[in-house]
Structure 1
Amino acid sequence: MNVLNVQELRKSYGTRVVFDGVSFALDEGEKVGFIGVNGSGKSTLFRIVAGLEGHEGGTLAFQRGIRTGYLSQEPEFEPGATILSTVAGGKPDLLDAIREYHAVGEALAAGTGDVDRLLARQERAAGRIDSLGGWDYEHQMENVLTRLGVEQWERPVEGLSGGERKRVALARVLLQAPELLLLDEPTNHLDADTTAWLEEHLESYPGAVMLITHDRYFLDRVVTRMLEVSTGELVGYPGGYTEYLEAKAERMERASVEEAKRQKLIAQELAWVRRSPSARTGKQKARIGRLGGLEAEQKEKRLPNRTTVEMAMNEAPRLGRTVLNLHHVRKSFGERTLIRDLDTMLSAGERIGIIGPNGAGKTTLLRIILGQEPADSGEVEIGKNTRIAYFDQRREDLNPEHSVYEAAADSDWVMVAGQRTHLRSYLETFLFPPEKQRQVVRSLSGGERNRLLLARLFLQDANLLMLDEPTNDLDLVTLQVLESVLADYGGCVVVVTHDRFFLDKVATGLIVFEKDGAVRRHAGNYDLYRRLKEQREAEAAEAAQAHTQARKATAATAAAKADGGKKLSWKEKKELDGMEAAIEKAEARKEELSARLADPALYTGPADELARVTSAFREAGEAVDVLYARWAELEELAG
């Protein structure tokens, strides 16, 4: 059964038509991803469905009695609200009842007030709690806020960062548990672990979900259907992002075949007309008219209708032998250590991704490198030829009152890929047409501001790009273009991002913020790091299990000895004598296989070879554990 049925939806802003006759439906429990370039109307569609914007025509039919929850890109909160009151906004009556119950409990414990009256108030509060959904809601709030990394819940929302505001708004809408959930870029400002939790939560979510996100792994795991918003229409594709790419490629191939046929027909008709037939019969005039129609169609197709960003960068100045070296850098704030001892270097051509939980210190590290934040100890060594360009996720370099044209550059002419280009033309390649260039920065969407920052960044004469969350709010097409440009960039790149797909396509190495200020360097992209991390965790679990088994075996042997157990047999003595050599051999085999697994080349080769090496490594580890357990057992028997 449909929870939402949209028919012939029409929406415009002045002369700009956003939708003209759009129709789609959403079934119960269905998860649908919406994609399209920035400005195509995705967020507008969500606001219309959420009832926050009107429309000029068409109908929206909702299933009777369903509730709709909406997460916007830029959440808004009530003045004076705290984190806790905001998150509980979906059930304020229940929260008031819980607070009343706890307040009465405190009064009873303190011995203040009339006991009978207090007990009666507490009983009434308990009854209200039961009727409004029970005590479980309080535990749900604590769980969701904790999983989203939100702390100190009595803080006012006015003082929160953009990332914290987004996570608080996400917690609020998830706790409302509506039958129709509208999420506009929910993964922005979420680290990889939190994003994985949200994936699992939405996979099992019983209601229907409409989702806008640039996180391609997220789309692959969560959604069952994709809807592409393009030139005021919706095109549906079954499956997740991977299936969408495959179906889109087939669709474009069919379109290219049709275009080739049309071009051939135009050429045939044109050749016929140029032969100047002697008689202009009615049929011949019809053919001439037909040619005119084909040529008009061709002209219409060639009219500029730019929907894809075109990024071009100047050639990076030559890097010196030293690019960027960090020597034992430490940084703390009060008793909290963000960076304990980071010692690493950046070589020419490397593209390093920085990952870790929110608040771990990733942006702080960039600010230390840039000299905007002092390190407690250690040294930042920047090469003489190193020229840094910085992309600030807070967008503080953009004056909100400047026009897009004024904010982009200080002159009317700029150098782009070695060519002198007018700034107006350059901005058009970043999807800022002339009328958009006259808009002030504060009126731009998040994605448009990020595109403007990228346009400014690529005009700089730099060979080290420092990018802090450049992927937030960008559409998938722009992300693909950015990935391609950075992969081909001749300089170095250091990028903070939670976008796992982006890291897999761009990064040659990672700097990972772990627990208690530990910051470690890893070779390869995110997928390789994830596989090795899972392998290490599996090894640790197996080692813990083997240790437990060895302790049990030792205890059993001790018990047997206490009961007058037998001494070692001749065969067991021989086994004990050869045990050290057997363990050394087994450990050497395990180390050999571990080195194979750490080699990035293994993950680009045949899949069956990777499976074989992984299986052999697991078996080698188990063999070592068994030998250690047996050794302990024999030593105990030998006394």
Structure 2
Amino acid sequence: MLLDVNNISKSINDKEILKNISFKLYKKDKVGIVGRNGVGKTTLLRIITSELEADSGSVKFYGSFGYLPQNLFINNHMYVYELINETDKYGDFIILLNKFGLKGVEKQKIDSLSGGEKTKLYLIKLLLKKPDILILDEPTNHIDNQTKEWLEDFINNFDGAVLMVTHDRYFLDKTVTKIFELENKSIKEYSGGYTFYARQKQIELDRARREYDKYIKEKRKLEKAARKHMERANKYNNMSKNDFQRHKAAKIAKRAKAIISRLENMDEKKKPIVSKNINIKLESNSDKIGNILIRAEGLSKSYGRILFENVSFNIYRNSRIGLVGENGVGKSTLLKGIIGKVQLEGNIYIAPSVKIGYFSQELEDLNLDLTILEELKSINNDENYVRTLLGSMLFRRDDVYKKISNLSYGERVRVAVLKLILEENNLLILDEITNFLDIPTKEVIEDALLDYKGAILFVSHDRYFINKIAEEIWELSNSGITQYLGGYSYYLDKKLKTSFNEKVSIKEEILRLEMELSHISFKLMNCSDEEKERLEKEYFDIEKELKKLKK
């Protein structure tokens, strides 16, 4: 055993967040903690790592730990090499930088690194302490899918235990063997990854509902029978003029008491607690539109360097397109170019009947000076309808008078989604719509998008979301766009086969060049001086090419 958490309780501002939380962590355990925003996941990690004090309970480590917080580096202006003060570990530091694909960054400032590079750097800092347990808080925030895949391999190959909080369901499926669900102040353990947990959770909820319905039905039946018998007993008591009627009344009352006794001895079943869910439906105005909504030809964009060029495509009615590509390739820029927020080189034709709804990850279309109600009434002045929609997104009573500037990022996302609902568009262009949302809210938005009848073009780093929504994948690169006419799993399979074929081609080329070298070596053994000069040059040219390929 590496960690023993025993009866941890914590209240913040008189509100109980955690109550008697207990679990153990063993070597090789890979555990994901899930739960809605605000249930206390990060609070629990901070208590475990001694950043926060619990009201009661204990945390005991039987080994060392390394903690990866959400905010990685407070002092971003430091140089990377300044992280290592102990000179005897500097060599190990450089070795790990090279191993993690960060060769040469030791002379850079931390704030010049990407989110993925910072995550790798912080992990290196932790690994130098040789921890037995890694405790990770939202490790996939701000990193691209390539780095996520790297992190998955790293966690799977890590020899110790891992305890993490993340909203990335795909990442959980790839890395963890247990799920700890934090709900209603308590924790419950499930075996397997996220998908298995979600299935088990639904089975449990359905079973609990059936048992509760059966209990209520039986209880009402017994209550009705008891009332009926008591009414009959009272009737005979009131009529009692002889011993026969009094005896009959007593007999009926005895039956009623027996039924009441059965009622009192019934095992009470509590109604299953179901968190209040958001309930939304995206309407589409797609009845009178043609087959091609948008046609783009030869699009390109540069900011000192080329982001992308030679990008051409058609967006068809009812398309579900996931736009992917490396960080910095211009995915968000392309979306902004389509809606006219950014000037692109090339031609874009948008059919006259197309009405685009755009979701920006910066949420710049929200007026921070307005209240939630004012922001939505600027689209639809029917206050009753707007209030009903706000209620479906869990904005109730005085919540509607909150200023946009005072909302959390997740709350602002919910307001932006409500704007899309009110607009009744037939093409949605979405830029990272699931950022910073908890899993239940993501799933509600996914269900709404699956029911949506219009076309969707979206950018997301959430692979679970991409897998669920996209029916085709477009991969953007500096040199153009490659279209894969299938979902995310199809895209990954195609990429894997292409990568394998490229590796096979490289191996074949290496073999061919090595044979050519052998052939030239043989010729050099028996040639004129004139030929020797030419053959030696040829030999060294091939040797250079071989070195490049072997890298």
The TM-score bracket by the shorter chain reads 0.7 to 0.9
2:69 alignment partner AA: L
- The answer to whether structure 1 residue 476 and structure 2 residue 471 are counterparts is no
1:382 alignment partner AA: I
Is the CA contact (8 Å cut-off) linking 1:351 and 1:492 kept in structure 2? yes
- Per the alignment, do residues 61 and 438 of structure 1 end up closer, same or farther by CA in structure 2, a change over 3 Å counting? farther
CA deviation after TM superposition for structure 1 residue 525, in Å: 0.9
2:470 alignment partner AA: A
- The answer to whether structure 1 residue 390 and structure 2 residue 358 are counterparts is yes
- Per the alignment, do residues 307 and 68 of structure 1 end up closer, same or farther by CA in structure 2, a change over 3 Å counting? farther
1:74-109 CA distance string (max 9 Å, x none) = 55613xx42635x854x4x13xxxxxxxxxxxxxxx
CA distance in 2, matches of 1:45, 1:409: 40
1:136 alignment partner AA: D
CA deviation after TM superposition for structure 1 residue 329, in Å: 0.5
CA deviation after TM superposition for structure 1 residue 401, in Å: 6.1
Correspondence list, 1:516-595, <5 A: 516-549=478-511
Partner of 1:330 in structure 2?
Answer: 300
Is the CA contact (8 Å cut-off) linking 1:82 and 1:154 kept in structure 2? no
- Per the alignment, do residues 486 and 301 of structure 1 end up closer, same or farther by CA in structure 2, a change over 3 Å counting? same
2:77 alignment partner AA: T
- The answer to whether structure 1 residue 358 and structure 2 residue 313 are counterparts is no
- Per the alignment, do residues 411 and 538 of structure 1 end up closer, same or farther by CA in structure 2, a change over 3 Å counting? closer
CA distance in 2, matches of 1:467, 1:360: 17
CA distance in 2, matches of 1:409, 1:168: 42
1:192 to 139, 145, 160: 145
2:318 to 341, 344, 349: 349
Is the CA contact (8 Å cut-off) linking 1:185 and 1:473 kept in structure 2? no
Correspondence list, 1:131-530, <5 A: 133-141=89-97, 144=100, 146=102, 154-155=108-109, 157=111, 164=114, 168=118, 171-177=121-127, 178-277=131-230, 278-279=232-233, 281=253, 284-285=256-257, 287-288=259-260, 301=271, 306-318=275-287, 319-334=289-304, 336-375=305-344, 377-399=345-367, 403-407=371-375, 409-410=377-378, 421-423=385-387, 425-434=388-397, 437=400, 441=404, 444-514=407-477, 516-530=478-492
Is the CA contact (8 Å cut-off) linking 2:379 and 2:423 kept in structure 1? no
1:421 alignment partner AA: Y
Secondary structure at the residue paired with 1:138? helix
1:150-169 CA distance string (max 9 Å, x none) = 97974573x98xxx457525
Partner of 2:69 in structure 1?
Answer: 71
- Per the alignment, do residues 431 and 556 of structure 1 end up closer, same or farther by CA in structure 2, a change over 3 Å counting? same
CA deviation after TM superposition for structure 1 residue 379, in Å: 1.0
- Per the alignment, do residues 448 and 294 of structure 1 end up closer, same or farther by CA in structure 2, a change over 3 Å counting? farther
- Per the alignment, do residues 450 and 168 of structure 1 end up closer, same or farther by CA in structure 2, a change over 3 Å counting? farther
Partner of 1:82 in structure 2?
Answer: 77
Is the CA contact (8 Å cut-off) linking 2:65 and 2:135 kept in structure 1? no
CA distance in 2, matches of 1:494, 1:11: 43
CA distance in 1, matches of 2:49, 2:366: 31
CA distance in 2, matches of 1:323, 1:559: 62
- Per the alignment, do residues 550 and 156 of structure 1 end up closer, same or farther by CA in structure 2, a change over 3 Å counting? closer
Structure 2: gaps of 5 or more residues: 234-251, 526-551
1:71 alignment partner AA: P
CA distance in 2, matches of 1:462, 1:387: 5
1:263 alignment partner AA: I
CA deviation after TM superposition for structure 1 residue 397, in Å: 3.2
2:456 alignment partner AA: V
CA deviation after TM superposition for structure 1 residue 411, in Å: 7.5
- Per the alignment, do residues 55 and 557 of structure 1 end up closer, same or farther by CA in structure 2, a change over 3 Å counting? closer
- Per the alignment, do residues 167 and 175 of structure 1 end up closer, same or farther by CA in structure 2, a change over 3 Å counting? same
CA distance in 2, matches of 1:546, 1:232: 60
- Per the alignment, do residues 370 and 328 of structure 1 end up closer, same or farther by CA in structure 2, a change over 3 Å counting? same
Partner of 1:111 in structure 2?
Answer: none
1:230-271 CA distance string (max 9 Å, x none) = 222211111212332343344234324422431331242143
Structure 1 length normalisation: TM-score?
0.69
1:373-429 CA distance string (max 9 Å, x none) = 111x211211111111111112233455655555555479659xxxx6242x42232
CA distance in 2, matches of 1:414, 1:537: 55
CA deviation after TM superposition for structure 1 residue 452, in Å: 3.3
Secondary structure at the residue paired with 2:190? strand
Q: Percent identity?
A: 28
Is the CA contact (8 Å cut-off) linking 1:219 and 1:240 kept in structure 2? yes
Partner of 1:47 in structure 2?
Answer: 46
CA deviation after TM superposition for structure 1 residue 145, in Å: 7.0
- Per the alignment, do residues 83 and 240 of structure 1 end up closer, same or farther by CA in structure 2, a change over 3 Å counting? farther
Secondary structure at the residue paired with 2:10? strand
- Per the alignment, do residues 146 and 406 of structure 1 end up closer, same or farther by CA in structure 2, a change over 3 Å counting? farther
CA distance in 2, matches of 1:506, 1:457: 17
1:518 alignment partner AA: G
Partner of 2:34 in structure 1?
Answer: 35
CA deviation after TM superposition for structure 1 residue 461, in Å: 2.5
1:205 alignment partner AA: F
Is the CA contact (8 Å cut-off) linking 1:450 and 1:470 kept in structure 2? yes
Partner of 2:545 in structure 1?
Answer: none
CA deviation after TM superposition for structure 1 residue 499, in Å: 1.9
1:248-303 CA distance string (max 9 Å, x none) = 344234324422431331242143135243337477357448769999x88x8499
- Per the alignment, do residues 15 and 413 of structure 1 end up closer, same or farther by CA in structure 2, a change over 3 Å counting? farther
Structure 1: gaps of 5 or more residues: 95-128, 564-639
2:5 alignment partner AA: V
2:359 alignment partner AA: F
- Per the alignment, do residues 58 and 448 of structure 1 end up closer, same or farther by CA in structure 2, a change over 3 Å counting? farther
RMSD, matched Cα? 3.7
Is the CA contact (8 Å cut-off) linking 1:83 and 1:153 kept in structure 2? no
Is the CA contact (8 Å cut-off) linking 2:283 and 2:452 kept in structure 1? no
CA distance in 2, matches of 1:503, 1:183: 24
CA deviation after TM superposition for structure 1 residue 313, in Å: 1.8
- Per the alignment, do residues 220 and 173 of structure 1 end up closer, same or farther by CA in structure 2, a change over 3 Å counting? same
CA distance in 2, matches of 1:517, 1:409: 44
CA distance in 1, matches of 2:404, 2:73: 20
- Per the alignment, do residues 553 and 359 of structure 1 end up closer, same or farther by CA in structure 2, a change over 3 Å counting? closer
CA deviation after TM superposition for structure 1 residue 315, in Å: 3.2
